[in-house]
Structure 1
Amino acid sequence: MQAGKVYPIHNLSVFKQQLLSWASQFNSCCFLDNHQYASPWQQQECLLAVGAKAMLQTQAGQALAQIDAFTQEHSGQWIFGHLGYGLTYELMRQQSQHPHPNGFADACLFVPEIVLQCNDNSVCIYVEDQDLANAIFQAIKSQSVGSDAPQSQMHIGRMSPVLSQESYLQTIAKLQQHILRGDCYEINFCQQFLVPYSEVDPVALYQSLCEVSPNPFSCYYKIDSNHLACASPERFLMKRGGKLYSQPIKGTASRHKYNADTDEILKRQLQQSEKDRSENVMVVDLVRNDLSQICNSGSVKVAELFGIYTYPQVHQMISTIEGELRPGTSFAQILQATFPMGSMTGAPKPSVVSLIDKYEQGQRGIFSGSVGYIQPNGDFDFNVVIRSIVYEQAAKLLHYHVGSGITHYSVPEKEYEECRWKSAAIEQVLSNLQAQ
């Protein structure tokens, strides 16, 4: 792909909406949005990739070797895609007791036909035929948004939890028995909610989610008839130059959006919470161990411990771990050492992955996996797929997961309450769409 062509934009928010509207015509689409969060680790404000010159879709088994071959073959090009949680079984050398879920493959990577890179006042369009760049820009600018956009008829089915509240509480008690026996230290347990018989506009679904809960690792992702609307606040892994950065989240507190003093108290309580600090330290140690397998000796360090970040729905405790990547380490080798992310499993990984499969009601699919991109220079950035809705358009099925980290000190009822905080934005979106 040649050097990009730059065009001025006058309203970034409106242009992002036009990008999404235009992108929805393609079978493969990856839209990544930082929502203008300021951070020393920020890579891009907004990226869009559409079309596929080459694509890999694969299931766990021999996926890592295929990912390695694909990324090596297309080195020097933009690559976008996802890594589903199903890759975990291959990397941990385990078998799932559950049938493979429908929808997204365990992994998908594609070399896009067109890439658009936005900042506050310009967009750069990368396309092989530069004569097409003008036509692409004009086509995007012609998209109607807001009240001028055509409205789709939508129907949202009735939400059904796969696990009842009583069953959830009983499961947490069983997991705590495993912790007491020393089978694990901490485990991330998730529950799934199904919304069958749903017909929605996937782009409108994503935009509604971001209106309620804009987060720095948001994405709208589409492969054929499968769609992901993601409002994630969490980074899995970033490579910038010769360094790797991971920013796991462990520690969540609800917001009080109508009383600033109360909201500040909740934030301070999270900062001082021994339980949340304990969970956070566990995942920091796990990530340090992961990175030490592929980074230069002595280079792995904690750049920030117990950072408190505020988002529209919750306060989060986030730590940042960095290390100098060992020269010659491939993307597949990095995944071998770091995936799945510790914040979505617990510790130690092999034990908790087995327990997750035993006690959760099915495989997670793309949830708690990752969506992101690799740049032509080899730098990359991948999120953690949480706070997300999956729409399987062919099956007319919406579904989403929420979870929390379980420790010996966890109170099952409070863990259930935390899950409700995390799903609040999703439930609000579905309720708003149902009312339209």
Structure 2
Amino acid sequence: MSNAKTDLFKQKALQWATSFEVCCCLDSNKYTDPYTQYDCLIAVGSDKSLAAKTGSAFDQLHSFYDKHTDWMFGLLSYELKNEVEDLNSKHTDQLDFPDLFFFIPTYLIALHGDEIKIIKGDPSIIETINQTHLNPTATKPNLKIESKFDRESYIETVEKLKTHIKRGDIYEVNFCQEFFAAHATINPLAVYNELNMVSPTPFAGFFKINHHYILSATPERFLCKRNNRLISQPIKGTAKRSKSAVEDEQIKITLKSSIKEQAENVMIVDLVRNDLTKSAVAGSVKVDELFGIYTFPQVHQMISTISCELNPNIHFIDAVKNTFPMGSMTGAPKIKAMELIDVYEKSKRGAFSGSFGCISPTGDFDFNVIIRSILYNEINQYLSFQVGGAITYAANSEAEYEECLLKASAILKVLTNSDNI
């Protein structure tokens, strides 16, 4: 089967999948790295599932996996931080995603190159999928997008956070703002397809949990396990691309050599190294790549890779817990940064800056970071996406606001008739 036919099959498979109450698609968009095993995985239907609230959620997931040792796909909400550390969240949450949700799929389809493989379920579903008629292109939504911060209040808040940095409370904090649309009616799959076309990324995904949807164009891997090795790839450092090839190359060089961006990145690298140490064989934590520059449709990103050998006495679910939430979305020191996030942000993060991904029967896993993602509650018609950036002593408040808009541009282009608020 040619790649064109494989791509058509993927579109049909995803449309077929959305007729089920639960489904999850993890799509690399054919970006290659040493750790990606399939171009795309589509998990459909739920044989068994686990929905857990913060408190004992990781323990419940540990037991759920040990009982079934099967393929599992699921969501780890940012609010699990309150289980990992002595924290709480004071903000309201109109999206109301589960804190933790995992399911064992009825069907699991893997695509790699021109190969289609049915990992779980009756192979005859290939014919069912091939006979699926793609829905005509839906009318593009033109939603009224609002923000919890205006430009002035955002800049003012960044300055307050910089005061905490000057006092020595923190070195860095990931500060985010929510954009939202009330009374929003969308076709989730059509919006996801458009987002994935505008901004194809290596950890993209579509996740339907009953009437909750995550439509993700995330470029970031949180954590994966391959055999006995854990790998984390935090992103810190962003630059807008240019249509001029010469200028675009110069932007990459400037990003690579930026002292400010390097400082942001290395603080999180140190934090991730510390988090991995909790689960690692002594002396095995290493930085495989520092300040790597990777290119995506809207931006260049600075990405570092840190890995370790998993201590055989530590369950891999505990290794996930030991690194959660990811340092790139919190700051350093981690606990104090999370406390300040709850003070100064105006929205509960919920699923945003959490993670979704999959676990294999052998205990390998791959989880992304839920950024550059649209979250949608179909019942109350509330749609939300959040964007943010690392605030350090050297941060320019106005530049940070502009970076937020840059990160939001692909989503705005999909949801409105403009890529500007």
TM-score with structure 2 setting the length: 0.96
- Confirm or deny that 1:114 pairs with 2:107: yes
- Confirm or deny that 1:143 pairs with 2:132: yes
In 1, the alpha carbon distance for the partners of 2:2 and 2:160 equals: 57
Q: Which residue of 2 aligns with 1:252?
A: 238
In 2, the alpha carbon distance for the partners of 1:26 and 1:99 equals: 29
Shift of 1:65: 1.8
Q: For 1:324-368, what per-residue CA distance to the aligned partner results, in whole angstroms no more than 9, with x for missing partners?
A: 000132133112210000000011111001000000012101110
Matches within 5 A, 1:12-411: 12-75=6-69, 77-128=70-121, 132-134=122-124, 136-145=125-134, 149-152=135-138, 155-256=141-242, 258-411=243-396
Q: For 1:212-242, what per-residue CA distance to the aligned partner results, in whole angstroms no more than 9, with x for missing partners?
A: 0000000000000011100011000010001
User: Which structure 2 segments of 5+ residues have no match?
Assistant: none
- Confirm or deny that 1:419 pairs with 2:419: no
In 2, the alpha carbon distance for the partners of 1:367 and 1:18 equals: 28
In 2, the alpha carbon distance for the partners of 1:180 and 1:186 equals: 11
Partner SS, residue 184 of structure 1: coil
Q: What amino acid maps onto 1:78 in structure 2?
A: W
Q: Which moved more, 1:194-203 or 1:98-107?
A: 98-107
Q: For 1:104-157, what per-residue CA distance to the aligned partner results, in whole angstroms no more than 9, with x for missing partners?
A: 1111011111111111112111335xxx321x1111111233xxx334466543
Kept after mapping to 1: 8 A contact 2:374/2:384: yes
In 1, the alpha carbon distance for the partners of 2:87 and 2:67 equals: 29
Q: What amino acid maps onto 1:357 in structure 2?
A: D
Over the matched positions of the two proteins, sequence identity in percent amounts to: 45
Task: State how many pairs are aligned.
Answer: 419
Q: Which moved more, 1:263-272 or 1:64-73?
A: 64-73
Gap change, CA 1:312 and 1:151, over 3 Å in 2: closer
Q: For 1:228-266, what per-residue CA distance to the aligned partner results, in whole angstroms no more than 9, with x for missing partners?
A: 10001100001000100000000000001x211111111
Kept after mapping to 2: 8 A contact 1:34/1:46: yes
Kept after mapping to 1: 8 A contact 2:76/2:100: yes
Kept after mapping to 2: 8 A contact 1:157/1:197: no
Gap change, CA 1:425 and 1:8, over 3 Å in 2: closer
In 2, the alpha carbon distance for the partners of 1:392 and 1:137 equals: 30
TM-score with structure 1 setting the length: 0.93
Q: Which residue of 2 aligns with 1:3?
A: none
Kept after mapping to 2: 8 A contact 1:156/1:200: no
Q: Which moved more, 1:325-334 or 1:300-309?
A: 325-334
In 2, the alpha carbon distance for the partners of 1:423 and 1:306 equals: 23
Shift of 1:30: 0.5
Partner SS, residue 291 of structure 1: helix
Question: Cα RMSD (Å) of the superposition?
Answer: 1.6
User: Which structure 1 segments of 5+ residues have no match?
Assistant: 1-6
Q: Which moved more, 1:153-162 or 1:382-391?
A: 153-162
Gap change, CA 1:8 and 1:153, over 3 Å in 2: closer
Shift of 1:8: 8.5
Partner SS, residue 350 of structure 2: coil
Shift of 1:431: 2.1
